[in-house]
Amino acid sequence: MRLADATWTDVRDADVDVAFIPVGSTEQHGPHAPLGTDTLDAVAVAEAGAAAYEAATGEGASEVVVAPPIPVGVAEEHRAFAGTMWVSPDTFRAYVREAAESLPHHGVDRVVFVNGHGGNVEALAEVARRFSRDPDHDGYAVAFTWFEAVGDHAGDMGHAGPLETALLRATNPDLVREDRVPDAREGAAARWGEWVSGVNLAHDSDAFTENGVVGDPSAGDAERGRELLDLASDALAELATAIVERESI
């Protein structure tokens, strides 16, 4: 159930097992991919994951609520690139956590943050822990980042690179500027960050990529995108099953 499209009576009458909250970002994704990439990808995975979960548990037996996506995240690292929006980690955590806390108020006490942005990972993990330990409600949450749950593909991640571009090609093809992909590829960095002794010295992305891209955006076609969507949504459905069954935190 897409929460924004449902009515309050729909939610009241449904048998909801778990909620997915897509969490994105509005940030540079090179010259070829839209600023909303992370949000679009998070929504696509959340909706496909909900369908997979509902299919697995049987027609009408139970439902997944998919909340509207959080559009602005922890993305100050891309501030050198026009159009990038961000909030501080403190504010991001508060906004996501409080929004999520509305759900146990209505009896929906299992929550997965379905994340599309690397810069949100740490903050969402912290939100999930705090939410789960909160003595004021019975909620339990975990944070899931789709590109960490796509098997061997994960090693190709980059930024606006093979995986993200492929997923867009499968789900939002009109938003990929194919004519700019050669340029995007040429100006791309091979790797995220500048590393010494296991530490990334570069706090901002413009220190290592001129056009914002990391990895080769031509290395992922729509077919690969569909495969990524299947892998991620299956993993998400499996995760949902596990947390619905889990008792302790």
3-state per-residue secondary structure call for the chain: CECCCCCHHHHHHCCEEEEEEEECCCCCECCCECCCHHHHHHHHHHHHHHHHHHHHHCCCCCEEEECCCECCCCCHHHCCCCCCCCCCHHHHHHHHHHHHHHHHHCCCCEEEEEECCHHHHHHHHHHHHHHHHCCCCCCEEEEEEHHHCCHHHHHHCCECCHHHHHHHHHHCHHHCCHHHHHHHHHCCECCCCCEECCEECCCCHHHCCCCCCECCHHHCCHHHHHHHHHHHHHHHHHHHHHHHHCCCC
Tell the smallest beta-carbon distance from residue 147 to its own copies (Å): 10
Give the residue, chosen from 4, 58, 59, 60, that forms a contact with its own copies under the rule CB under 8 A.
4
Please report whether residue 191 would count as binding its own copies according to CB under 8 A.
no
Of the two residues 59 and 203, which places its CB atom closer to its own copies in the complex? 203
Please report whether residue 90 would count as binding its own copies according to CB under 8 A.
yes
Stretch that binds its own copies, among 55-63, 127-135, 162-170, 217-225 (CB under 8 A): 127-135
Please report whether residue 196 would count as binding its own copies according to CB under 8 A.
yes
Please report whether residue 179 would count as binding its own copies according to CB under 8 A.
no
Stretch that binds its own copies, among 51-59, 124-132, 162-170, 215-223 (CB under 8 A): 124-132
Stretch that binds its own copies, among 55-63, 162-170, 205-213, 215-223 (CB under 8 A): 205-213
Please report whether residue 53 would count as binding its own copies according to CB under 8 A.
no
Tell the smallest beta-carbon distance from residue 92 to its own copies (Å): 8
Give the residue, chosen from 45, 81, 109, 116, that forms a contact with its own copies under the rule CB under 8 A.
81
